Amino acid sequence: MDSGARSDAGVVVVGASLAGAHTALELRRLGHHGPVTLVGAEPHLPYERPELSKGYLGGSVGLDALLVAPEATYAEAGIDLRLGVRASGVDTASRLVQLADGEALAYDSLVVATGSANIRPRIDGMDLPGVYQLRTLDDAQRLAAAARSGGRAVVIGTGLVGCEVAATLTALGLSVTAVDALPGPLWAQLGAELSGVVLGWHEQHGVTFFGGTVVTAIEGSERAERVRLADGQVLEADLVVVGVGARPMLDWLSGVPVDLAAGGLAVDAAQRTNLPGIYAAGDVAAVQDDALRGHRRTEHYMSAMEQGQRVAHVLVGAEPPASQPEWFWSHQYGHYLQYAGRHEPDDELVLRPAPFAAFFLRDSVVRAVATVDNGRDLRRALRLLGRTVDRALLVDPAVDLRKVA
């Protein structure tokens, strides 16, 4: 704890998110004995979000499987859960977190882990019944209930969540049309060639895709009935799902003199903000990247978990775990897509045939790798990130990736 901390207030974690829950639980695992309070705006125990657009939406994964930990774990660890109440502000001089119900929580250290909220685009008709967004457990429950009626779905936005929702709704028997301003699904994450692979999965399962166009309106008399595109085409719909990105949930910190960067809270490699005793982890944190010479945010499962654990180590004075490469995955139509690292659009793409693997290179240095149904090579390729390699060895499926470096 820093020198200006109060002696008995303990750690307050705002955001019962993946990052927030791992901060609190890791503190106890590391032997921290002071008070730990975990505040969450949702009434639910902290849960993992990746399955919301897949197994949970599709009905094959139950709520218990989503939980970071059962309620008894928090109780046994002496973690004070304050669920269903939002934080509304921070008094940094007095070290108090203001809650929307009027309570104020004193803190020695404050960890901001409030995650992201969906971007709500300015599209006419967004407020019509039958228009859904997917971020929370409650969102998934509402969408799942609507999907049981079947019919025609239009998915606006084909990033990770949009692609997975389209795949899940298709599996549930709905007729799905997907629309994106970019030319193909996961275009921003994977680039043109790998986007084409994902597009092929969707088209093979009957999804109609409109790329390179924008939605101008969602129309209907009493509920969403159709989606109008900028080129004049009209798509009939019984339900519409909008997923065009997310923004960090920082509104409650309005007026707090905390430094911002890359759309989030600027933190150093130890997750510390510029304000004494205040840390950030997960989607809200823009971490100092020495190689980039700036800050960057990472909105992925593994990053949120790792950053929460790092904060806990810093708070107890332990050596933080080594940073891992950025990594995300997606299940679509039985395919398992994995990606690690970070690449730029002009990096060289090197493909290895079956089992499929793709490498993004800059001056013969591996910057990122993507695999499909090939977890073995993904694991082996992780050690190649940041290393100079022989391109000819990468493309030869007979060469063990463990020997390429």
Q: Is the dihedral of CA 317, 322, 323, 324 positive or negative?
A: negative
Give the span between the Cα atoms of 369 and 268, in whole angstroms.
26
Instruction: For residue range 184-233, list pLDDT tens digits in order.
Output: 999 999 999 999 999 999 999 999 999 999 999 999 999 999 999 999 99
Position 25 pLDDT exceeds 80: yes
Question: What pTM value is reported for the model?
Answer: 0.95
Give the span between the Cα atoms of 213 and 223, in whole angstroms.
23
Range 96-111 average pLDDT: 98
The encoded tokens of residue 246 equal 């997310």
Position 294 pLDDT exceeds 90: no
The encoded tokens of residue 231 equal 């080129």
- Number of H helices and E strands in the chain, helices first, is 11, 27
DSSP 3-state assignment of 403? helix
Give the pLDDT band of residue 7 (cuts 50, 70, 90). low
- How many CB atoms within 10 Å of residue 291? 8
- E-strand stretches of 281-377: 285-289, 294-297, 327-332, 335-341, 348-352, 357-362, 365-372
Taking CA 136 as the corner, what is the angle to CA 307 and CA 90, rounded to the nearest 5 degrees? Answer: 55
pLDDT of residue 2: 52
Domain architecture of the chain: domains with CATH: 11-117+247-316 (3.50.50.60), 131-244 (3.50.50.60), 334-403 (3.30.390.30)
Give the span between the Cα atoms of 348 and 327, in whole angstroms.
19
Instruction: For residue range 381-391, list pLDDT tens digits in order.
Output: 999 999 999 99
In contact, 381 and 359? CB cutoff 8 Å:
yes
Position 5 pLDDT exceeds 50: no
% of the chain surpassing 70 pLDDT: 98
pLDDT of residue 313: 98
Position 1 pLDDT exceeds 70: no
